[in-house]
Amino acid sequence: MPELKNDRLLKALARQPVDMTPVWIMRQAGRYLPEYRATRERAGSFMKLCKTPELACEVTLQPIERFPLDAAIIFSDILTIPDAMGLGLNFIESKGPVFARPLQREAQIKGLEVPDPARLQYVYEAISLVKHELADRVPLIGFCGSPWTLAAYMIEGESSPGFPRIMQMMQENPALLHNLLDILAKSVTAHLEAQIQAGADVMMLFDTWGGLLDNEKYREFSLNYAHQIIARLRHNHYNKRKPPFILFTKGGSRFIDEMVESGCDALGLDWEISLAEARHRARSKVALQGNMHPACLLESPEVIRQEVAKVLASFGQGEGHVFNLGHGITPDVPPEHVAVLVEAVHELSQPYHQKG
C-alpha cells in the first residue's frame, strides 16, 4: 500500500510523534460550503447525493480542496444500513431523517437480516473514487452509526427527544432489543469491513445517542456491541493492515473509563469534558479526538484562535491528540472561519510537539 504524503492523523491515532496536531472536522463536507450546496441542488435530494458515487466523491473532496485538512471523511450517512434493510430512509428539510417503515412490530425485528452488500455498493464505489482522486494526499475516514443509535432511529422512525420507543422496549422487552442490536452489530461490522476493503484508512463509529443511557445500560446496550464490532474487525485484519478505530459517543464523557477498554484506538469527545480530564482518565491507553464547541466557529477570527489555543493547552504536551469539534459543524458557519481554525491548529500546536 503506498505511503500517504500526509500521515499526521494516522500517527496521532497511534500516539506517535507528529510535527503538529492534525485536524479534521465532523461534517466537514456539508451545507456551510457553497460548493456543497450547489452539488446538492444538482443532485436533487440528499439521498440521491449519497447514492451517486461520483457526486459523493465530489463533495467529499470539496473541503480538502479548500482547506489544508489532515483527513477526508467519506460523504455518506450513519443510517445507510437500516435503509439497505428496507426501512425507506428519507431526509425532510428542518426535520431530518425519517423512515417510511419503522420497526413497530416484533415480527419486523425478527425478520431482519444483514443486508446484501450490493445494497450499499454506492458507498464502497464512492470510497474507491475518493481514494483515486486523493492520490494519497491525506487518509480517508470511513464510518457508520453504532447499533444502539441505528436502533433508536429504526424503532422511533425519526429523531425524537429522548427516543421514548427504544427506551420502552429496553425496559419491557430487552431480549427483543438485543436481538435487533445483534443483527445490527453484524451488519455494521460487514459495512465497515467493506469500507476498509474499498480503501478507507480509518474507521469511526458514531454513537450519537449513547448519552441517553445510564452507565449500566450503556455498557449492556451500546458499548457491548461496539466492543464486538471492533473485536471482529481486529480478528478479520489479524496479520493484515489494521485501520485505526475511533469511537465517538455524544454525551459519553461519563463513560470514558469503560470506553478505553473497548479496543478502540481513539475516543472522540464532545465539549462536556476538558481534554485534560479525559487524558487523565484515559490513562494513555488511547488517543483523544476533539473537542471545540461548534458554536465557537461563529465567533470572530480572534476568538476562534483563542479557543483553539485553549483546546490545545488542555491536552498539553505530547502525542495522541486529533483536533476536531465536539460535534458536527453547523450550516451557518462562514467557510473563512474554518480556514482560520485549521491554520490556528497547525500554527499553535507546533510547540506542543517539540522535544526538549
Given the residues 124, 153, 218, 225, the one annotated as active site: 153
Using CA atoms, how far residue 95 sits from 160, 167, 219, 230, in Å, is 10, 21, 30, 32
Q: Respond yes or no: is residue 234 known to be catalytic.
A: no
Would the annotation count 208 as a binding residue? yes
Pairing of strands 96-99, 89-92: antiparallel
The C-alpha cell at 222 is 451500546
Cβ-Cβ contacts under 8 Å for 273 (sequence gap 6 or more):
253, 256, 291
Would the annotation count 327 as a binding residue? yes
Count how many residues are written for the chain.
356
For residues 32 and 104, the answer to whether their CB atoms sit within 8 Å is no
- By the 10 Å C-beta count (0-12 exposed, 13-18 middle, 19+ buried), 140 is classed as buried
Given the residues 40, 165, 279, 305, the one annotated as active site: 40
Would the annotation count 62 as a binding residue? no
d(CA 253, CA 2): 37
Q: Respond yes or no: is residue 153 known to be catalytic.
A: yes
Would the annotation count 153 as a binding residue? yes
Instruction: State phi, psi for 319 to the nearest 5 degrees.
Output: -105, 165
Instruction: State phi, psi for 150 to the nearest 5 degrees.
Output: -60, -45
Would the annotation count 88 as a binding residue? no
Given the residues 8, 15, 27, 279, the one annotated as active site: 27
- By the 10 Å C-beta count (0-12 exposed, 13-18 middle, 19+ buried), 216 is classed as exposed
DSSP 339: H
Which value, in Å, is the radius of gyration of the alpha carbons in the chain? 19
Q: Respond yes or no: is residue 254 known to be catalytic.
A: no
Given the residues 70, 77, 83, 265, the one annotated as active site: 77
Active-site annotation, residues = 27, 31, 40, 77, 153
Q: Which residues are annotated as a binding site?
A: 27-31, 77, 153, 208, 327
Q: Which residues are annotated as a binding site for substrate?
A: 27-31, 77, 153, 208, 327
